[in-house]
Chain A
């Protein structure tokens, strides 16, 4: 009895050898729902962050997914993209999720980026602190670009001259990623890459 996390339909599947041996991966979505997401693999290179890899396009299905995940607080959905994130993040040295403001986190009851990584079994290091409760989605491009620094390094954090990978859910104007990357670089990171689930 396995149901699709999004449409609640039973997932029909054929018996496989992997299933018989008990090593089969658990399916979280039905075929129709997983097809509704548009895989894009957009890679951008830049000055402040060296490379951003965005996995999916931002379409209607993705908008609904994030509505249910973040607004309705359906944490179970973090499992949906676990395989994708694990594949892309496996073997990376230090994974740094974009942090949430502590008050915001209590309000939502979970940090959505952290939860995506946890479900993907990727260990991560919370090196940054978010200093404002401002929400990016509520700002215009001009407002975003003219903002005060969003992040500061955690007091106990030590940055080495190696590659860091920042993870966020969505890449829109890049303000968030740039600011986070800048903090890490100023503190001595050799290279900062980023992985985002979607590119808006």
Chain B
């Protein structure tokens, strides 16, 4: 071998799987590293013959193998039939004639000096869960932290993450939603001031330095391969993580072959519970960190609310609820099941207070509006289920309009209720389900909250 490798190239590429033509480095630098064996190339799409001359494709980046997610075309570059993956298209197209590159030289040596600057104390319940999680990590066993909303899940992760960092290991904290990552970033940066931390999500600024602690949306893990000694998936049941098999495979692929993948959630799916029961261990916390019970939802009928809203009339009960919040100066969230309906209702709410805004996943000012609600510049927000988790605002009051809708399943309702009463100073609050008929999901959520509360009284 001739020249040594560029440290910057290694720092960027180690643990990642990247498009050969789209690195932050000049093409000739990458080519030289490939020639000298520091970087290995793999074809973008792997194609094998299957039954009756049909082709089976696998995308080597996102591991998608759903035949409906591939398109084959006559390629002008390789002058033949070429197949590309539509699943991870938005990260730059991967096709049969695209090379992916992985680092195959010396791995990065991460520092072993880290401080945990968080100076709170864990409750006995949190401490127990943290110890169990550390133990599972040491034994390479997947672990589920099943903890109610507002029980301080993030803090439970601090000791095990600290342990891993001290051993020079690389750690990933992943969550399906950007909002969760955005909320976690400042907290982790404050807790681990000496650690290199990077937050990756769609639209984040790209950095080339090596980071030992990676915060990422689960989508971004498509771009990692055998990188982490442990992966923690926060809010493990949030859409699209639950719905998408490819995403789950991507998380597994991002971890080193025998590294454990841990899950943290308040509402684990039955599937997750059964898998973990078979292969790993579970810690349950049914008490909030401040010890007060979870807010129990109350039902309010709001017959034909959809018709009324479409007619330009704010149903009376909803009107009164919002007016009461405004009068008491309590911040509030109103959840809707459908963006269109929410936008129709927005001017009706604005008639009560012109500062009320609405947010949804694709809203350009989503981050700003949520921040404005935190800063008390806005009295309240209308939202889709996008804000059902990960956000903490003291004294927030919550209403769900159309709680009978399918999208509000048991998990979603428990999460939404989990926004209420999270702070010690305001440990309770109103959690009202405006409905056009009571569903099983509503009853299930209410019953589960009741059971968790009973459990927490008993201890």
Q: Residues of A with Cβ closer than 8 Å to B?
A: 1, 3, 68, 72-76, 105-111, 115
| A1-B92 Cα distance, complex, nearest whole Å | 26
Question: Which residues of chain A are near B73, meaning CB under 8 Å?
Answer: 75, 109-110, 115
Quick one: given A1-B68, A3-B68, A109-B95, are A74 and B75 in contact (CB under 8 Å)?
A: no
Question: Which residues of chain A are near B74, meaning CB under 8 Å?
Answer: 110
| A74-B88 Cα distance, complex, nearest whole Å | 11
| A105-B92 Cα distance, complex, nearest whole Å | 17
Query: Contact between A111 and B90 (Cβ–Cβ < 8 Å)?
Result: no
Query: Contact between A73 and B76 (Cβ–Cβ < 8 Å)?
Result: no
Tell whether B325 is near chain A: CB-to-CB under 8 Å: no
Query: Contact between A75 and B77 (Cβ–Cβ < 8 Å)?
Result: no
Minimum CB distance partner of A111 in chain B = B76
| A109-B97 Cα distance, complex, nearest whole Å | 10
| A75-B70 Cα distance, complex, nearest whole Å | 11
Q: Which of B77, B89, B90 contacts A109 (CB 8 A)?
A: B77
| A68-B74 Cα distance, complex, nearest whole Å | 18
Residue with the highest number of chain A CB atoms closer than 10 Å, among B68, B90, B93, B95: B93
Question: Which residues of chain B are near A3, meaning CB under 8 Å?
Answer: 68
| A189-B189 Cα distance, complex, nearest whole Å | 69
Minimum CB distance partner of A105 in chain B = B76
| A106-B75 Cα distance, complex, nearest whole Å | 8
Query: Contact between B76 and A74 (Cβ–Cβ < 8 Å)?
Result: no
Query: Contact between A109 and B86 (Cβ–Cβ < 8 Å)?
Result: no
Tell whether B71 is near chain A: CB-to-CB under 8 Å: yes
Query: Contact between A74 and B68 (Cβ–Cβ < 8 Å)?
Result: no
Tell whether B84 is near chain A: CB-to-CB under 8 Å: yes
Query: Contact between B68 and A73 (Cβ–Cβ < 8 Å)?
Result: no
Q: B residues 83-132 with Cβ under 8 Å of A?
A: 84, 86, 89-90, 92-93, 95, 97
Quick one: given A106-B76, A109-B95, A111-B76, are A75 and B71 in contact (CB under 8 Å)?
A: yes
Q: Which of A1, A68, A76, A109 contacts B75 (CB 8 A)?
A: A109
Give 28 A-B contacts (CB < 8 Å), ordered by A residue. Answer: A1-B68, A3-B68, A68-B89, A72-B90, A72-B92, A72-B93, A73-B84, A73-B93, A74-B89, A74-B93, A75-B71, A75-B73, A76-B86, A106-B76, A106-B77, A107-B77, A108-B76, A109-B73, A109-B75, A109-B82, A109-B95, A109-B97, A110-B73, A110-B74, A110-B75, A110-B76, A111-B76, A115-B73
Other than A72-B89, A73-B84, A74-B71, give 14 A-B pairs with Cβ distance below 8 A: A1-B68, A68-B89, A72-B90, A72-B93, A74-B86, A74-B89, A76-B71, A106-B77, A107-B77, A109-B75, A109-B76, A109-B82, A110-B76, A115-B73
Residue with the highest number of chain B CB atoms closer than 10 Å, among A1, A73, A75, A108: A75
| A109-B83 Cα distance, complex, nearest whole Å | 11
Instruction: For the complex of A and B, list the 5 residue pairs with the smallest distance between their C-beta atoms, beginning with the closest.
Output: A76-B71, A109-B77, A75-B73, A73-B93, A105-B76
Q: Residues of B with Cβ closer than 8 Å to A?
A: 68, 71, 73-77, 82, 84, 86, 89-90, 92-93, 95, 97
| A1-B95 Cα distance, complex, nearest whole Å | 24
Residue with the highest number of chain A CB atoms closer than 10 Å, among B68, B76, B92: B76
| A1-B66 Cα distance, complex, nearest whole Å | 12
Minimum CB distance partner of B97 in chain A = A109
Question: Which residues of chain A are near B97, meaning CB under 8 Å?
Answer: 109
Chain B nearest CB, measured from A51 CB (Å) = 31
Question: Which residues of chain A are near B93, meaning CB under 8 Å?
Answer: 72-74
| A72-B89 Cα distance, complex, nearest whole Å | 7
| A111-B75 Cα distance, complex, nearest whole Å | 9
| A3-B70 Cα distance, complex, nearest whole Å | 13
Minimum CB distance partner of B78 in chain A = A109
Chain B nearest CB, measured from A18 CB (Å) = 22
| A76-B83 Cα distance, complex, nearest whole Å | 11
Question: Which residues of chain B are near A72, meaning CB under 8 Å?
Answer: 89-90, 92-93
Minimum CB distance partner of A71 in chain B = B93
| A3-B84 Cα distance, complex, nearest whole Å | 17
Minimum CB distance partner of B91 in chain A = A72
Question: Which residues of chain B are near A73, meaning CB under 8 Å?
Answer: 84, 93
| A115-B74 Cα distance, complex, nearest whole Å | 10
Minimum CB distance partner of B95 in chain A = A109
| A109-B73 Cα distance, complex, nearest whole Å | 9
| A75-B76 Cα distance, complex, nearest whole Å | 12
Residue with the highest number of chain B CB atoms closer than 10 Å, among A1, A3, A72, A108: A72
| A18-B7 Cα distance, complex, nearest whole Å | 62
Question: Which residues of chain A are near B75, meaning CB under 8 Å?
Answer: 109-110
Chain B nearest CB, measured from A46 CB (Å) = 32
| A109-B72 Cα distance, complex, nearest whole Å | 12
| A166-B106 Cα distance, complex, nearest whole Å | 56
Residue with the highest number of chain A CB atoms closer than 10 Å, among B68, B77, B95: B77
Question: Which residues of chain B are near A110, meaning CB under 8 Å?
Answer: 73-76
| A12-B196 Cα distance, complex, nearest whole Å | 47
| A111-B76 Cα distance, complex, nearest whole Å | 8
Minimum CB distance partner of A115 in chain B = B73
